[in-house]
Structure 1
Amino acid sequence: MTKEVTIQDVFDRFLPEMAEVSNFSPRQHLTVKCIQACRTAKMGAHVSECRSCHATYIHYNSCKNRHCPMCQGMEVDEWIDLQQENVLETTYFHTVFTIPQELYALVYSNQKVLYDALYHAASRTLNELSADKKYLGAKLGYICVLHTWGSRMNYHPHLHTIVLGGGLDQENHWKDRDGKLFFPVKVMSAVFKKYYLDELKQLHKDNRLEYHGSSAYLQNHYEFKELLNKLYAKDWIVYTKEAFNGALAVIKYLGRYTHRIAISNRRIERIDGNHVIYKAKDYKNEGKMVSVSVLGTAFIRMFLMHVLPKGFMRIRHYGLLSCRSKKEKMTLCRNLLGCQQYISKLKGKSTAEKIMILYKHDIRKCRCCGAPVTTFRVDGEYMLC
């Protein structure tokens, strides 16, 4: 049976050939270090020994880095389980906010502030339009998740937003549009463009932007002004996918977007000489999966473009779903809609209990004889990320 190729294999094979390793940011260096050590002796392990038959099991620790393809499974399941408590039996919409590619170089040079600007502009757009009685006249709840990649790992920052299909008006009455979208897409696009460019101009005025690489020319005031003119003249793309109904559908849908990373191990097909072959969607052919071949060094370079700044919050909750509002407002919404509350199965549980609930595997018992095991920790070379 052929061994599956992982991102670790790609790093081990091609990192020594990369001349620009010294130019990696501290976060990129840390990500590489964590992924290479993930589930190896370098990360340490938990060793379990059966008290009866003395069988021994070694479980190497995961790195817990949010960019690691091997560390997302249980985190996704835990997050989805927790979100069940705030899902309503009503319509939801999936809205995607994108920015023109003319901005990509500048955004990459200023990831923290210009990623934040994406959230700010999308939030102000949804808040302004939902408050307008012409569209809804109510306060919404929504979750924003940043993705910075396209299917081929190209740099493509955009915001996925899961929007509750209704909201509370000033008298705390539930309002919706019978499963129909509240806002015309062209209106959303225009408002989003206005708010994003307003923030971009303010950041430029406050000298909070940096200009590196292919964005260096924008240090020139006239070049920056010319870019703004092009961005104002261009139609920005905001689109909403079809509504989906039912709490269970929403929960599964959330899991597809919240913890996704630039590429998963299952999309890496093989290493062929100096190239990595991986699967990606061909949008010119109805999104069918095709094999793509790139140099191994280019593959690593593309992967590391999507490492987020330190401490950056990629999943953010707003309106009725914000931490400040959801405890009180979600209970009210459930009462108004007459739907039940889903209770978390994992909250307050130990890791062993979570694994048992999620995967029906009891790590506290011997796989050979079923007797209890004794587990102890062996420290590794690295701390968990």
Structure 2
Amino acid sequence: MAEDVLQVNHRHVILTIDEGLRDIFLWHRELLKPLMDEAAKLMTDYFQKKAKVTPGIIVGLHTFGSKVNFNPHIHMMVTMGGITKKGEWKGYDFIPFQMLRKQWQTVVLKLIRKHLTKQEKKRIQPRLQKAFSANGEGFYVYAPKQRGKIKEQLRYIARYIRRPAIGTNRIEAYDGQTVTFKYVDKTDGKEKHETVTVEEFIIRLIRHIPDEQFKTIRHYGMYSRRSKKLSKKLLATWQQGTKRWILKVKKTLRRQTWRERIISSGQKDPMICPHCDNYYDYMGEVCLEEGKLEIKIAFTKEARSYMERVICHLEGTGQEKQKEEKRNRPSASKEDVCQLSLFNVS
């Protein structure tokens, strides 16, 4: 995510809902997607009204609290500025918390009333009334200014948006009957421990498994799939004339490859053989079809010849021959292992 956004200042915006409304989204999980849409629309409308720009927004849905309870809330990565109708970049770094809190409260309550039946609305009306009266300043909205280098900010926000319900480092004990885990209590900021039964722990955990085909990360504004390429082209043209480098024209923003991700995490290059320190070279591929190994790709005659020999070696010519070859075959050397590793046999 950090590699796929503009290298500009972003805000990490958090939008929450009243505690009494959480169960409504648990009973009606179809409201989670509109909740994300409304959060993005709230920020987009604000930027378009105040700064006349369309920002880039990445929304992440968290359905969990620190105690792995069901607590749906929104995390957003929002550009501090956006693109104008003329294709120019315009910075804007002011977010009015008090105004957004009341607006977010109104949006959530309207969303619930709009999507539920009359009978359901009548049943939960006390919850809606309490959520309105008990939050005179609106629902909680938090958007701290980020400090440090832009790339470090983006990596931090992106990691936070993608975090799971609970990490294994928080699970401290398991005896077959109960699970003990630690958490930070948001009310006093202290670390605490809780012990629950295995059944209760599983119930808390599986609530956060997204429904089939549901996307917990969504893109809006400049980062939406429809306008992303166009926005980059417009900004690239604009910055050529102004010499203000919002994005690098020569560098295409892209996701890291599997190999790059492993290296950046501090591990060894997976394309280097651990035995001889030579680089692996993809020369072909062998796949299993109807119980037989078949060559699918061979870039050279030598590669095809080698794969044919490997297939013949693996399949053999019968049990007797395999036994005889096993008795007479010398132990494989490191060089043989390296050669076999050059090809993907699946």
One-letter amino acid of the structure 2 residue matched with residue 319 of structure 1: G
Q: Please give the residue correspondences for 1:219-298 in structure 2 after superposition, counting only pairs within 5 Å.
A: 219=119, 222-233=122-133, 234=135, 235-244=138-147, 246-272=149-175, 274-286=177-189, 288-298=190-200
Counterpart check, 1:105 vs 2:7: no
Deviates more, 1:292-301 or 1:150-159: 292-301
Distance 1:359 1:164 in 2: 29
Structure-2 change in CA distance of 1:346 and 1:284 (3 Å): closer
1:197 corresponds to which residue?
109
Alpha-carbon separation, structure 2, partners of 1:243 and 1:361: 32
| Contact kept in structure 2, 1:91 and 1:244, CA below 8 Å | no
TM-score (norm 2): 0.70
Q: Which deviations, in whole Å up to 9, do the C-alpha atoms of 1:292-314 show, x marking residues without a partner?
A: 32222221111111111111011
Give the CA deviation at 1:114.
1.3
Give the AA of the match of 1:185. F
Q: Which has the higher contact order (CA 8 A, sep 6+)?
A: 1
**1:320 and 1:299, CA in 2 relative to 1: closer, same or farther beyond 3 A?**
same
- Per-residue CA deviation, residues 42-94 of structure 1 (Å, 9 max, x unaligned), is xxxxxxxxxxxxxxxxxxxxxxxxxxxxxxxxxxxxxx4xx424222x32111
Match of 1:152 in 2: 67
Residues 173-207 of structure 1 deviation map (CA, whole Å, 9 limit, x = unaligned): 33223xx32x31121122222222222222124x7
Task: Please identify, of 325-334 and 124-133, the stretch whose mean Cα deviation from structure 2 is larger.
Answer: 325-334
Contact 2:56 2:221 in 1 (8 A): yes
Structure 1, 255-264 or 314-323: larger mean CA deviation = 255-264
C-alpha contact 1:96 1:239 (8 A) present in aligned 2: yes
Partner of 1:279, secondary structure, is strand
User: How many residue pairs align between the two structures?
Assistant: 275
1:185 pairs with 2:104: no
Amino acid at match of 1:157: P
Shift in alpha-carbon separation, 1:140–1:296, aligned structure 2, 3 A: same
CA contact (8 A) 1:93 1:244 kept: no
Deviation at 1:353, TM superposition (A): 6.7
Over the matched positions of the two proteins, sequence identity in percent amounts to 24
Unaligned runs of 5+ in 1: 1-79, 208-218, 379-385
Over alpha carbons, which structure has the higher Rg?
A: 2
Find the partner of 1:300 among 170, 177, 202. Answer: 202
Q: 1:331 to 1:292 in 2, by over 3 A?
A: farther
- Counterparts of 2:260 and 2:102, CA distance in 1: 49
Residue in structure 2 matched with residue 95 of structure 1 by the alignment: 13
- What is the alpha-carbon root mean square deviation over aligned residues? 2.8
Q: Is the 8 A contact 1:86 1:330 kept in 2?
A: no
Counterpart position of 2:90: 175
